[in-house]
Structure 1
Amino acid sequence: MSGASEASTPPVFRIVNPDATPEEVAALVAVLSALGGGEAPAPRRRPAWGSPHRQVRRTLPHGPGGWRTSTLPH
């Protein structure tokens, strides 16, 4: 099963020089493996003021003193 998946994926890099020694190939692989990998960066937190729920109008308070409390944060 793994042979079929390896055959269908293209190689990551290809060595063009036919005179490359195994040491040169090993050095190339070591440099490329040191460059990449690692874990993905953490997703950025969205600021509260840009949150989509703030774009929807909330129900305004009603009753005595409702006009005062309409401007208070909830």
Structure 2
Amino acid sequence: MSNSKDLDRKHERNLADRREQIKRWAEYVRTHPDRDWSQQVNTLVNAQIQSARAQEDDRPSMDELRDSPLLDDN
């Protein structure tokens, strides 16, 4: 089982990794044409929208939730 110091170190590493990735992306944006990096961002955003729509389609309807045996008061 991890102790809090291990967890703190993991969070610090994660934060450092995120900051490094932001720096690399900023450098990429500065050194490449808008067309190149904007296509990549567009691909990412479109994938996120598709994923959100798929999750929405998989959601149960309110009728299904109301009729669920898990909500039975008996």
If you compute each CA radius of gyration, which structure gives the higher value, 1 or 2?
1
Q: Same fold (TM over 0.5)?
A: no
Give the TM-score category using the shorter length: 0.3 to 0.5
